[in-house]
Structure 1
C-alpha cells in the first residue's frame, strides 16, 4: 500500500477545512488504495489550536488514515532531534530557518517535507487553510484523484489515464514528479482592492515582478495573467495533461510532489514574503521532469485579517519583499532553464549543488534594479492615498533593511539546501 502525506499548514482558525481535508484523506484511502498520513502543522494561537484538536478528535476513524496534529512546540522538538542527529554546523541557524519566529510559507512546507520523510511517505500533497474544495453534483472535487497513483512512476505508465499527453518521447521514461492544478475565485494575492482603486497603479505595481529588461508588452501580458489562477469557471468534468507543467498554471494550495524532488531540494525559507514556496515548480519544469496538470481547481478565498489595521501593512510588506526577491530568482530561473537536463544526475535526481551555485552567484547582483522597484512602489502607493500612503511612509524607513533581507534570504536558502540531505536522512531514522 502506497503511503502518502496529505498536509495542511495553518496559522488561523480553519475547522471546516480540517473536516474537508479529512474527507479527502478518507477518499484516498477508500478509493485509491493509499495509506494516508494526514499532517496538520498548526501555528495558530493556543485557543484556536485547542479547537482544532477537538474537531480532529471528533472525526470518525477511517481505516488507513492516520491524523498527526502538531503545534509548533511539537514541531520544534522533532526538528531539534533531527538537527542534532544530523550533526549540522550552525544548528541554531538551521532551526531558525526551519521554524522561524515570523511567517514563512516555504519553511512551513519544508517542515512538512521533513515529517513526510520521517513518516516514510512517497509523496506529499499540500492544501491551504484559506481555500476549499469545489462541489460538482453535490460532491467535493478532490485533487488527489489525479495526484495518485502516478507520482514517482515512469511517465509512460500514466499515458493511458490522462486526457492527453504533451511530452517528448525521450522524457516518458522519467518519473512523474509533480501533479497539480490551480484555483478559482479571488486573486491568489490579496491586492484586488488596489485594482478597484486604480487600474493603472495596479498594472505598475504588479508588473514589477517581471524581469527588469522585459518589454512593456510582455509586462502587460504578465499583469493580465498574474494571480488569477484558473479564473472563475467552476468544474464540470475531468481533464488532465501529462506534460512539463508550466509554473503559472498551478498553485501551491493544490499541489503534490514526489519524494525524489522534495527530499533533494527544500523551498526557500524566507520570512515575511509571499511566493517563497513556488521554487520547486520552476525546478521541476526546468529539469524537464514530467508532471500531470489537471483541472480539479481549489476555490480560493481571503480571510479578513489581511485587511485589518495591523494585517494590512504586514501583508503589503510581504508583497514588496516578493517583488524584491525576483531580482535573484529570475537570475536563478534563467540559469536553471539554460541548464535543463544537466540539473539531473545519472539517476535522474536533482543535482542540488548546481542550485546552490546559481543562488550564491545571484547574491552578487547589482541592487540598482531593486532600488528602482522600491521607488516605483513608493510612487504607486502614494497615488492610492489612505492606508497605502501610510504604508509608503513605513516603507521609506525600511528601504535598506528590505534590500538587505532580500539578499540574505537567498544566502539562507543556499545554506539550507546544503544541510538538507543530512536533515532528510536524520528524519528517516
Structure 2
C-alpha cells in the first residue's frame, strides 16, 4: 500500500495544530488507499514537547496512521546513523547542515525528506505550526485532498482529477512532481508593520529581493504581489489546475512533493536564519518543466507574538535581511535553471542533483558588490523608519562583512549537501527511525 509522510516541523508550542494535522491524516486515510506516517519534528523545550506528545496521544485510533514524534536528540541519532551509512567523508559537516544550532527552514524539511525515505513514503506533505486550515460550512478544507488525487501520477492520468489543465502536451508524460496551494490572511513575511509605518520604505525594502538589473516597473509589480499569497478571500469551492506551477502562487505551509522525482533527488538549501531558504524546490519544479497542480485549498497564515518581542524582532529582521542577501545567488541559479529547462532532468524525468549542485557552486563566485549595495539601501531604509528599526540598522552595521560571507557560504553548503544527497537518501532507506511513537491503535 502507498505510504505518505504528513509532516509538521515546529519550534513553537502548537498542540492545536497537531490535533488538526491528525484530523487531516484521518481524512487522507479514510478517502485514499494509503498508509499515513504523521511526523512531528519537535525542536521545542521539554514542556512544549510534552504538550505535543499529549496531543498526539489523544488522536483517535486509526489502523492506517502511524505517528512519529521526534525531538532533536532522536533526530540527531537518526541523522548520525544515516550519514555514517552514506560513507561521506565529511560526516560532521553534513550533520551540522542537517541539524544546525540555529534555525533553518530548509534543514528541518530536509530531515523530513530523509525520515520519509526511511519510512518508505512516496511523498512528503508539509504544514507549518503558525498556520491553520480553513473551515467552510462546518467542514475543514484539507489540502491533502488534492495532493493525493494527483501527486506522483503521470500528468496525463491526473487530468480527470483536476478542474482544468494548462499543461503543454509534451509534458503530459512526466509525473506530477508537486501539488501546492497558497495561504490567506497575514503576509507570509512579517513586515506589514513596515508597510503601515511608511509605504515608501516598504517598497524600497521589498524591491531589494528583485535582481538589481530589473526595471523600476518590474520591481513595482514584484512588490505588489510579494508575500500576499491568495489574499483574503475565503474558500468557497474547489479548483485545481494542472500546469507548470508559478512559484509565486504556492507556499511551503501548503505543499507536497513526490519523493522519487524531486525531494529524494535534491535537498533544500540548509541556510541558517534565512527566510525563504526552503522554497528552492518549487523553483526547480517550475524551471525543469515538471508538472504540478495548483489548488485553492489555501491555509490561513497568522503570526505568533514571539517574533514581535525585542529578541524576536531582532532575530526575525535578521532572517529577512539574510533572505534579501541570498537572492544574489538564488537569482543566478534560477536564471541558469530556466535556461537549462528539461536538461535538469534525467532520462526518467527525475531532477538531476549534479546539475543543481554545479549551478549552486558556480554562484558562489559572484561579485558581492550588489549585496553591499543592498546593505546600504537597507541601512538607509531602517534608519528612516526610526525607533527599533534604526536600532536594528546599527546592529546590521556591525555585521556587514559577516553577513556577506554567510550568504556566499550558505550556497557553498547547499552545493555540498546536494552532492551528498542521493547517497544520504539511499542510506536513509536502509536505516530505521529511532523510537517512533508507534501505530495509533
Q: CA deviation at 1:160?
A: 1.2
What is residue 238 of structure 1 aligned with on the other side? 238
| Equivalent residue number for residue 342 of structure 2 | 341
- The aligned residue for residue 21 of structure 2 is 21
**What SS class does the counterpart of residue 269 from structure 1 fall into?**
coil
| Structure-1 residue corresponding to 2:439 | none
CA distance in structure 2 between the aligned counterparts of 1:304 and 1:44, rounded to whole angstroms: 16
Distance 2:234 2:33 in 1: 28
Alignment-derived partner of residue 201 in structure 1: 201
Alpha-carbon distance, 1:341 to partner: 0.8
> Alignment partner of 1:223: what SS?
helix
For the residues of structure 2 that align with 1:350 and 1:8, how far apart are their CA atoms? 25
| Inter-partner Cα distance in structure 2 for 1:277 and 1:338 | 22
Secondary structure of the structure 2 residue equivalent to 1:159:
helix
Distance in 2 separating the partners of 1:366 and 1:116: 38
Q: State the match for 1:224 in structure 2.
A: 224
How far off is 1:269 after superposition? 0.2
Aligned-partner Cα distance in 2 for 1:233–1:349: 36
The equivalent residue for 1:113 is: 113
* Cross-structure match for 2:433: none
Two-structure CA RMSD over aligned residues (Å): 0.6
Please tell me whether the aligned partners of residues 150 and 161 of structure 2 are also in contact (alpha carbons under 8 angstroms). Answer: no
What aligned pairs does 1:73-152 form with structure 2 within 5 A after superposition? 73-152=73-152
Instruction: State the 1:228 CA deviation.
Output: 0.2
**Structure 1 segments of 4+ aligned residues over 4 angstroms from their partners:** none
The answer for the alignment partner of 2:302 in structure 1 is 301
Residue 149 of structure 1 deviates from its aligned partner by 3.3
SS for the counterpart of 2:102 is coil
Structure 2 unaligned regions, length at least 5: 431-441
Hey, what does 1:405 align to over in structure 2?
406
Q: CA deviation at 1:57?
A: 1.1
* Deviation at residue 354 of structure 1 after TM alignment: 1.0
CA distance in 2, matches of 1:136, 1:324: 40
- Residue pair 2:135, 2:141 contacting (<8 A) in 1 also: yes
Report the CA distance between 1:348 and its aligned residue. 1.1
- The aligned counterpart of 2:55 is 55
Q: Once the two structures are superposed, what CA deviation does each residue of 1:51-93 show, in whole Å capped at 9, x if it has no partner?
A: 1111211222112011000000000000000011111111000
Structure 1 partner of 2:158: 158
Query: How many residues are aligned here?
Result: 429
Task: Give 1:376 shift.
Answer: 0.4
Cα displacement (A) at 1:345: 1.3
How far apart are the structure 2 equivalents of 1:333 and 1:237?
34
Paired position in structure 2 for 1:269: 270
Q: 1:65 — aligned with what?
A: 65
Partner Cα distance (1:276, 1:255) in 2: 15
Q: Shift of residue 33 of structure 1?
A: 2.0
Q: In 1, distance between residues paired with 2:116 and 2:230?
A: 29
SS at match of 2:149: coil
Q: Is the 8 Å Cα contact of residues 29 and 63 (structure 1) preserved in structure 2?
A: no
Cα deviation 1:129-182 (Å, max 9, x = unaligned): 000000011111000000013211100011112110001111101000000000
Q: Is the 8 A contact 2:37 2:68 kept in 1?
A: yes
**More deviation, 354-363/128-137:** 354-363
Question: For 1:345 and 1:421, how far apart are their aligned partners in 2?
Answer: 14
Structure 1 portions without partners, runs of 5+: none
**Residue 32 of structure 2 corresponds to residue 32 of structure 1:** yes
Whether the 8 Å contact between 1:98 and 1:108 is mirrored in structure 2 is: yes
1:362 corresponds in structure 2 to 363
**Shift of residue 346 of structure 1?**
1.1
Q: Deviations over 1:209-249 (max 9, x none)?
A: 00010000000000000000000000000001000000000
Which residue in 1 is equivalent to 2:167?
Answer: 167
Q: Is 1:183 the counterpart of 2:177 in the alignment?
A: no
Matched residues in 2 for 1:417 and 1:122: separation?
A: 20
Q: Any idea what the Cα deviations from partners look like across 1:364-405, whole Å, max 9, x if unmatched?
A: 111110000000000000000000000000000000000000
Worse overlay, 413-422 or 106-115: 413-422
TM-score normalised per structure 2: 0.97
Query: Which residue number in structure 2 is paired with residue 419 of structure 1?
Result: 420
**8 A contact 1:360–1:411 mirrored in 2:** yes
SS in 2 for 1:8: strand
Cα distance in 2 between the residues matched to 1:77 and 1:407: 29
Q: Which residue of 1 aligns with 2:438?
A: none
Rounded Cα–Cα distance in structure 2 between residues aligned with 1:59 and 1:356: 41
Task: State the shift of 1:32 in Å.
Answer: 1.6
Secondary structure of 1:388's aligned partner: helix
Q: Quote the Cα distance in structure 2 between the aligned partners of 1:356 and 1:423.
A: 15
